[in-house]
Chain A
Amino acid sequence: MQDIASRQMNLDPNEMANRLMQRAHNRDGLPEMAIGSAFLIVAFVIFLQSRQAAGSLAYKSLALGWSVLVPALGAGLPAAIKWLRRRHLIHRFGYLETTAVRKRSLLVGLLLAAGIAALIGVARFSIPDQWVLAGAGLFAGTLCAFCGKLIRFAVYGVLIAAAGLFIAQIRLSLLSGFPLLFGFCGGLLLLSGILVFVRYMRSPAERIQ
């Protein structure tokens, strides 16, 4: 199919390759399922934290728990997806070994996300909760829309940003708003991932579009 090739021709070869790899990466729905599950787990832990008395041991433990859980999931999920694809889906997905440069850029992305999360943590003391929630929704939506490289991610990005703005509008505290926002993101991505995965597995292995 030459159409895709022609569409990519006005890009730098590096940019073109990254786009193609990102599209291939999101083709089977596994990354969506993984990210969706991670969002739901974090939402659940924050929800549990919101039910504890502020300052209690359980409250502090849960706060520590999700701050450890986020980088752990960020580092562990790509490895789990790679293992699953190599072990069970190699006949469909194929085999890819990325360069150290690509692995490094993934690490930089994780560190950047952790930095932004820390910034939000600091900002919450000087910025009203609804601004933090709206900002988090807009940030997550923008990230989803730009990183997915597929039309469905642009749609999800808009939905996530709208959810962030809506949750900010109803003036919830951060501990009530974040589980809602993350729960929405997680549910949306998990559901989408499952649908894409089922469709992927039902398509003939010879030619998956």
Chain B
Amino acid sequence: MSSNIPGPAEIDRVIHEPARLMIVALLAVAKEADFQYLTHATELTKGNLSVHLSKLEKAGYIEIEKTYRGKYPLTICRLTERGRDALSVYRKTIRRIL
């Protein structure tokens, strides 16, 4: 393996998983989105999405806020600065590999 090509350890495993990449990519172009919207946009099941959101939150890439809009409960997700930077680094790493 050439020294210019990043090794597997350099790839951010949290973002590299396809479902999480979709979530992070969506939140990178949206200011904020709620759980319901993300379920539709990613076509993940609620349980699956919930697990991935927890992992992203644990890594500090997203922040989750539980709020209400009228009587309707909203679970709003936002990408943090750390998440934005991680996506940017991930994109550069993958470009170097491809």
Q: Which residue numbers of A lie inside 8 Å of B, CB to CB?
A: 1-2, 4-6, 8-9, 12-14, 16-18, 20-21, 23-24, 27, 86, 90-99, 101-102, 206-209
Contact = CB atoms under 8 A, between A and B. Distances in A.
A194 to B, nearest CB: 20
Interface of B: 18-19, 21-22, 24-26, 28-46, 48, 69, 72, 74, 76, 87, 90-91
Contacts of A99: 29-31
15 contacts: A4-B42, A6-B18, A16-B25, A90-B74, A91-B72, A92-B36, A93-B37, A94-B35, A95-B33, A95-B36, A95-B74, A96-B33, A97-B30, A98-B30, A99-B29
B25 A90 contact: no
Contacts of B43: 1, 4, 209
A1 B45 contact: yes
Nearest to A28: B40
* SS class, residues of chain A in contact with chain B: helix
A9 B21 contact: yes
A89 to B, nearest CB: 10
A27 B36 CA distance: 13
Contacts of A21: 26, 29-30, 41
Contacts of B28: 13-14, 17
Given A91-B72, A93-B36, 5 more contacts: A9-B21, A16-B25, A17-B25, A96-B32, A98-B29
B34 A96 contact: yes
Contacts of B38: 94
Contacts of B30: 17, 21, 96-99, 102
A102 B29 contact: yes
Given A97-B30, A98-B30, A24 B45 contact: no
Contacts of B33: 94-97
Contact of B72 (A5, A90, A207): A90
Nearest to A85: B37
A95 B42 contact: no
A99 B32 CA distance: 8
